[in-house]
Structure 1
């Protein structure tokens, strides 16, 4: 899969790639422009899978503190150098156990494409041993929002954050893609924890319950392979939906 990051990361300094990603991301991931709908302007935000920091940077401007979890060493270093002073970077892969894990990459990729994963898929060719952590092991308090992008490892990462989710009841935005594996385990676990799912369809939020997300993704998967630039500047009638917002039962997006 050729993406914007894959095309330019080997030719440009990381700071420029990161700036481009931060600038372009809200164009095809509009949830990032709607933080006020689900992320209170106080407390701690947690960005799991920071990549070049498009979410972390926006969250740092809104919240008192951001904790960014990123397993790729050079990306974690980039985030430490470039994120605002109220952001803390934790180098590791969020899962359900502490120790070490194998992080898999496609051939020729060091993590810049944003498709590294603890679960090896057919696109992966080599791996790197990285620290594995649990969110609960970070000892965070007062978390109001969690963003999670872990490419197929959602259920394990959520299990490792279950204590925090039960205690702080933050909003949780999870990237779920049926092409990477079944999404039902993560959705079911969050339902057990008292969370309901929401999707941003156009300009309005709709409930995940009753919406066939798997069919929508199958119908629009071709958009994923067009890369960041084409997705940002050549919008289509139907957007590829993979960001699912989970709120504790009784909360709705946009409610104070």
Structure 2
């Protein structure tokens, strides 16, 4: 795992988001550095998906600030999102389009020239081992291969920051492990900053840092070993459960 640079790629400060009387995010502050894999751990309903919707520009926060590579998400959303690659929890491929068409559409959205876009698409599909399936409809692919296409799509425009919201949902153990190892590799090879949201504690074991989100608040931010020490637990899963257990 690469050492993160001092200036964060993602800086979130005091983020607040409410739905009527329900507060989904309550003063969330976190950061992701260059080459850093940060695992965002939280039980279902913790606010992870709401946070990702704000980070991806789909929702506007009620308060707080998000900066990507120094670009303010509210004041300069286009350059901020241009530096961001996103894999959402729910599948977002157009299943009736070919793999190639899905990726070309994404490249056009980011303003890539056709020749450059094709070179980037070829490179990312080759990385995923899917070059020979580029002209097949996305519907023909397995769940694991569709996730690979979504990762390739997120990387086509060469982002600095990669956001993944529960990316292994529905994947078998082998596909889950492959995706996790590949993203760790991208941190080391490209200096990519990664925020990986999950409720599966084992996916956070090798993270550079862990952020625990519970009821919309950050309950811990630091290395996995620190979380174990703080909870007095030998296993990360036990530490996470102790921190997010319902009040008696």
TM-score, normalising length: structure 2: 0.37
Q: Relative contact order, CA 8 A, sep 6+: which one is greater?
A: 2
